[in-house]
Structure 1
């Protein structure tokens, strides 16, 4: 007993420290994180996937066709409909712009924060719930995904929400919780496909096994949930059936007879896992282990420790699984089950991990609250303080190499803010280094949203050119074209206020107006011409094809969603950017 008492005293003291600190800082830090995450709303959409999805939703909103997904006038079979429905509805209400595209995704991210709070509160109490939310809103890849919006913000909120409602349904009368959990699960299926049931159900299966709740596997509520989830997924199946299964003559993936429903249930899920579907990849079993190191910053090392401790405490000396409270294994099961599946898959992308971040946040928060050894607390303090120092140092290096406008002033501001953060959150106790690493992460994300992205988006030529066309004195309905022989650029199609079509060069002649009638007003784009946006080298190609080409404006272009050292360095940037031009093309 003499050895047990100090451990309990340390745990109680740790709990008291967290409660005092969170009572003072939870709301201010949460507000700061919301402001930083919302900063992505004012940033233009990034190429390539974000612009592609925004263009699909733009077409959906413009045509009013919420059934068929089309790209460049062709049928598109890849992602389910739900994110496009949300974006198209937002376009209808808020207009077609970047803000309207990102806003519903931010709401679902916020929904994820809310349900992270609710699940952690139900399982472990207020302190873990508050820590979980702070970790969730400051995890690196979630912040990035609120800017480079794809399906993940939607999916993150839907999955953790479904898990919460199913947990509540398992511990009380099912009622509305079973209905809500099934609805969110159905929407998650309509966002990414039926694989999401692995994440939603995996945690419950492990928890029931650990708690020897064998009756849960036979309980009628779960069969009702499966039926309800299937019913809520029917809109997606209907759309796929109407667009593809009713039209086997359509050419998709280079062949006819493609079933949209088969693609939804097999090719887009197991086909990618086994690399047998039309969309293939080359997987690495350790890809997500090292991806998590940066994607979950500044909490990734704590997460690894939390998972190891959770597994060790969940297995006793005889090897039998045990759990602390009913539901205690849900987060571990949901996170590890999906992580293993992702790691074994042949098709891997970093943002796939986002849906696990709510569970990672709860696991990490529970670990922080229940640390029993002073040595462990000191080690964590050293790790998090090191991260808090490293992050502003990386910003200073970025400022130095990139040469942002007023970069010496920016470097001075970063140094001052970092110093004030360490001065403000003094103290060796555990909340101190956590507050410092949280604040430094917010500084980095603020810099990314408000300094880095505005600077590098000047090199996303499609966005800049699309906005530039709005300033041109266009007379009548001057057509705008992208060339199929040129690289794809969906950002121009989304940001251009005029209808844009992607065509082969050979068909350009048939698209040009024959006569200049009525006469163009002074300075206006003549009505017998078209606007073509392409790499500047295509000006010579068009001239050799017999067109009269007048370059209007040139724009530097780089694939900014995949930054390289050559681009970041101001000394070599000009060597890796490609000039694109907006050209006025006419007949001779």
Structure 2
């Protein structure tokens, strides 16, 4: 604690500057060194690219087809990044990374105001070095952005309740409304449902009704409405089918349905996800939660902040555990709350290294690291066929870092070192492991068609046509910087029952603004008609369709241009 007091005022400005510099290097380094992962990175980035090409900033499109599965904010941001930095991986991951850093900023300020400076620093570092949070910040989809916006809305509200100056309190409340509005513009209703449910539950359970009298509720509602309403109304005006499709099909049905969406998992799905995604800090999570619950039960009026964080954690966790359809990134909004609870717990025992709870946590972390160091080399041999060849040697490097960290922690335990030494050891280890993961990410991506797209781009002529055969390679249009023609059975009776790329495009085919673009979606008969014409055509298909393609081609000539993994590139002309 004395270490922090030696830094001169203003503390927060020094911390903010150092945190920003460190996270900028840690998060941005190598972020553009690996191709886009599909489907999400390719899909959402292509929507933004088409927005720039079409100059239509109200109706998002995917390969010319209206794509209103998600609201507009993310596409606006991606379009800005492309306009400023060009179409490249670094630009496409700029906003997710920036949001990741913003989330750490907000966590720092929340910890500073709710608890103290040390809790703020520790919590921000815990969040920044959590694998799932870090990975989401390096993955260009909407999950991290909406998580940060929802978390920021909740953080600003609880900060507003702790500030005594009316102007500061109002600013925090308005920021809470702004973040909630931006969350609704990013992912829809959950941007409003979570803040209202968590804040409302906290007010009811704590009896803090007087807080509502001290907040400018009417102006906050007007601010929220001003942010969210215009685009939704303009989108409905341009696409009369929008409200029913977005709110009923995508928002409500996806939550309640047990049959129509992918990723069907058990209720307990998020328990291992959170444990693994919060490592190594998950070694302290149970102790932190138990510590907060215990204090809350003993003196509830003195620990209303802990009540808010626990409600934040439990309500979101339960909400996403109920539906059958789950994806890993959905649970991200609880990570700032976990970081604050864990950071506050460590701060309480910062000078008491002999505490059993801390020693148990360090022991668990050592056990997990040792198991990782032993199992990773073994798994690289046992599951050699499932691991990309270029990634195998990195597993030994991961194991080496894990073993070195385990030994370092043992030494700190053996000589009864301070908690700051143990915390520093775990933080540096996490930074090294996550940096190595970013550096090695290119060798993990076997599904990209970037090499084929770049080769194709060099030989394409203006009149050439690119068609995919029963597969939509979602990064292909982005790397080609042009739309492609997609072959599939668009009249199949079971399309609505399969949550895949066919249904995504099929939904949008019948929007009014898609009718002129359905020429990009063809059936197999039309494919063979085009293939037999004099016009040069390039087709991409998976190897599992090769036999079918060859059989149906019969006497028609086809020429292999190149292959990449399971993807083959053919042309009807040599």
Q: TM-score range by the shorter chain?
A: 0.7 to 0.9
Give distance in 2, aligned partners of 1:102 and 1:406. Answer: 22
Name the residue aligned to 1:189.
Answer: 184
Deviation for aligned residue 1:290: 2.4
> What is the SS of the residue equivalent to 1:534?
strand
Give distance in 1, aligned partners of 2:345 and 2:215. Answer: 35
Give distance in 1, aligned partners of 2:155 and 2:178. Answer: 12
Question: Of 383, 386, 389, which aligns to 2:370?
Answer: 389
Question: Of 344, 349, 362, which aligns to 1:366?
Answer: 344
> What is the SS of the residue equivalent to 1:43?
coil
Name the residue aligned to 1:335.
Answer: 313
Question: Of 416, 427, 430, which aligns to 2:419?
Answer: 430
Per-residue CA deviation, residues 204-233 of structure 1 (Å, 9 max, x unaligned), is 334434543222345562343233212211
Tell whether the 8 Å contact from 2:136 to 2:143 is kept in structure 1 after alignment: yes
Tell whether the 8 Å contact from 2:99 to 2:137 is kept in structure 1 after alignment: no
Per-residue CA deviation, residues 259-315 of structure 1 (Å, 9 max, x unaligned), is 422444444333233227964764522222222111211222322221222122112
Deviation for aligned residue 1:351: 0.9
Name the residue aligned to 1:441.
Answer: 430
Structure (1 or 2) with the greater helix fraction: 2
Give distance in 2, aligned partners of 1:192 and 1:286. Answer: 24
Name the residue aligned to 2:459.
Answer: 473
- Choose 61-70 or 355-364, whichever is displaced more: 61-70
Give distance in 2, aligned partners of 1:97 and 1:183. Answer: 30
Is 1:502 paired with 2:502? no
Question: Of 560, 569, 573, which aligns to 1:582?
Answer: 569
Give distance in 2, aligned partners of 1:123 and 1:131. Answer: 13
Tell whether the 8 Å contact from 1:45 to 1:147 is kept in structure 2 after alignment: no
Deviation for aligned residue 1:128: 0.3
TM score, norm. by length of structure 1:
0.78
Per-residue CA deviation, residues 438-487 of structure 1 (Å, 9 max, x unaligned), is 33333332232212x22132x225233222323x433444221112xx23
Name the residue aligned to 1:573.
Answer: none
Name the residue aligned to 1:92.
Answer: 83
Deviation for aligned residue 1:412: 6.7
> What is the SS of the residue equivalent to 2:42?
helix
Give distance in 2, aligned partners of 1:344 and 1:288. Answer: 11
- Choose 347-356 or 197-206, whichever is displaced more: 197-206
Tell whether the 8 Å contact from 1:534 to 1:581 is kept in structure 2 after alignment: yes
Quote the RMSD (CA, aligned, Å). 3.5
Distance 1:501 1:97, change over 3 A: farther
Name the residue aligned to 1:323.
Answer: 302
Deviation for aligned residue 1:66: 1.6
Distance 1:229 1:497, change over 3 A: closer
Distance 1:284 1:398, change over 3 A: closer
Name the residue aligned to 1:454.
Answer: 442
> What is the SS of the residue equivalent to 1:369?
helix
Distance 1:282 1:19, change over 3 A: farther
Name the residue aligned to 2:277.
Answer: 295
> What is the SS of the residue equivalent to 1:348?
coil
Tell whether the 8 Å contact from 2:391 to 2:444 is kept in structure 1 after alignment: no
Distance 1:142 1:45, change over 3 A: same
Distance 1:398 1:463, change over 3 A: farther
- Choose 355-364 or 218-227, whichever is displaced more: 218-227
Deviation for aligned residue 1:407: 6.2
Name the residue aligned to 1:377.
Answer: 358
- Choose 300-309 or 94-103, whichever is displaced more: 300-309
> What is the SS of the residue equivalent to 1:329?
helix
> What is the SS of the residue equivalent to 1:548?
coil
Unaligned runs of 5+ in 1: 1-14, 246-258, 516-527, 557-578
Give distance in 2, aligned partners of 1:312 and 1:532. Answer: 63
TM score, norm. by length of structure 2:
0.80
Tell whether the 8 Å contact from 1:291 to 1:350 is kept in structure 2 after alignment: yes
Deviation for aligned residue 1:532: 0.9
Tell whether the 8 Å contact from 1:108 to 1:154 is kept in structure 2 after alignment: yes
> What is the SS of the residue equivalent to 1:46?
coil
Name the residue aligned to 1:547.
Answer: 556
Aligned residues: 516
Tell whether the 8 Å contact from 1:34 to 1:137 is kept in structure 2 after alignment: no
Question: Of 263, 287, 292, which aligns to 1:310?
Answer: 292
